[in-house]
Structure 1
Amino acid sequence: MTSTGTTAPIPDPEIDPKAEALAEDLAARLAKGDRRALARGITLIESTRADHRRAAAALVRRLHAAPRDAVRLGLSGTPGVGKSTFIESFGVRLADQGRKIAVLAVDPSSSRNGGSILGDKTRMEHLSRHPNAFIRPSPSGATLGGVARRTREAILLCEAAGFDLVIVETVGVGQSETMVADMTDIFLLLLAPAGGDELQGVKRGIMEICDMIVVNKADGDLKATAQRTRADYAGALHLLRKRGQDPEGFPKAIAVSALEEDGLEKAWEEILTLDAFRRENGIRDHKRRQQAVTWFRAEVEERLLRRFRRTPEVAAIWPALEQSVGEGDTAPQIAAAQALAAFGLTGDET
């Protein structure tokens, strides 16, 4: 790659023939919609093995310039609100219409063994068997933001495989899960029917970035409550948000029943309306460019942190520093300075 002006040239990554061959094979199979290649590709990008990381990087390079027209839909909500039921009913409906649906469902990880606690293919039994659907559960691990460590790359692979809609279902715990908004086009917040007190408990941070609130379980005895809840949230959104760049009425709140499949078509129509408006006005492209920068920064920070922790000098003192901080013998700031000094950073550098 050549430089322009005073910009230094960007070095090409080191070429690994085996990694390049594997990436080329997977990219070709993905272009044909090969589901096994998609599953293998996601496994590859989630792996921490050095040879897998090289192959994953080679694969991402090949797919980066490919057209990406899928709707990226983020879905969040507290556990028990019915996210899986909603995705199941919503996804099956769209898949029956001939659309190709990919679901990247992030399961909470066990704090003891790091394993995934839930199983999305059992929670979405009908959708997982549909020929137009692909479901990939991934443990969140230690990653904040309610998403898996390699969710961005997984979205890229799903788009390369020809899916029309990529749904990212977050863990649904904690305000930090709003990171999903930094990798999707439209962010839905799924809520259950609630009263005024419950409305006060909804995190303002999520309310300020969601594009649509979907009140689920609008059926049976809860139907009237759901409609009142929808009206309450619509009012709250109107007070919190004034978005001139979106169509009139957005962000908005709607009520649905995933169990009875009522309101799902309206939800999809609203999603398409917002997506079409953003595409036509260049808003989606601008947002994706910003997201790419966020991805770049996150990748740099992650690699630096990994290298920092693996440095022998740091690894040698890390357990003792953690113990000393935990027992109250050393202030966290002092311990951090000692760890950074072992890495070679001192004074103003830290």
Structure 2
Amino acid sequence: MSDIDSIKSRISKNVRPISAYSVPRIDCSVKLDGNESPYDLEEEEQIALSERLAKLPVNRYPDPEALEVRTSLSRVVGFPVDGILLGNGSDEIIQMIVEVLGGKSGRVLVPSPTFSMYRITSLILGKQVTEVELDEAFDIDLEQTLEAIRTQDPDIVFLATPNNPTGNSFSEEKVLEILEASGGAVVVDEAYCDFSKKSYVPHIDKYENLLVLRTMSKIGFAGARLGIFFARPQIADEVNKARLPYNINSFSQDVMSFALENPEVIERKISLILSERERVRTSLERIEGIHVYPTDANFFLVRVSDADFLFEELVKNDILVRRFKGEGRLANCLRITVGTREENDQLIQVLVSVFSS
């Protein structure tokens, strides 16, 4: 029998230096760290969904193609069903894209800072990752990005807009220039497009190399783990080869069908978040000592003189936000999700108290 050292010696060299994606487990009743919707379903909506889920035959596999859900989504978005794929969260789709489309130069280009899973997934799969720093306004540094595309010919460029964790949307002109210049796939991750009201899906008609990602996680259905992929059908067919069998369980498929059939459930809560976002922005900007960056998402990136101190003060007051410990451009930054009105009031009250003392 092999010992643990023998097993560990067989771990891929791509994996050894990487830390797993992790979310700190800190119990606070006001949870403003995950960019989720703060609003659960109303009681009558919960009852309707529960009755629907109770009818599912849990002894049977789910629809392997999630065809009913994809067809409904096709009607809602106005996009061909054969160009739509679903994933167990966008993370699974990111993995599928890198597995399938990263096979020529073996290089992946990402801005920095951005969503960490583009880099982590690419490294685990043995790709070389080039990170290009965003400019002072956290927008794309177009000159450096185009130079990296010209010299390195990346198989994939990942662009999250609005960007996580900065919150701002990238310049559309710059994104389109990257699409024109890139010989590989350009993946626009618009996880927060419901709050920016901007989408690149219509541009797929013009750009064959454009792939677009969306998610249900930011608009009230994070627990269902549903990511959405849009691309030309020829590209979707290839990426679909890396999709694991029955990757979307029956419960998640039914939850998504429920959401698509009841769009008012989503729209009402998006409107509440957008209203609260503006109210919170105004309150934060009035507090001396907090720099608030522009946002098109459901969260704020803020900079303070001592983020660790403020993080701990918030935790003491039962409020959890996201901190970035010693992370370059994000040093002394916190990311704060827009909560309910009551949660936001509690946040502002604590912040005013801390910065006035």
**Same fold per TM (> 0.5)?**
no
Name the TM-score, length of structure 1 as normaliser: 0.30
Higher alpha-carbon Rg: 1
- What is the TM-score when the length of structure 2 is the normalising length? 0.29
Higher helix share: 1
Higher relative contact order by CA 8 Å / sep ≥ 6: 1 or 2? 2
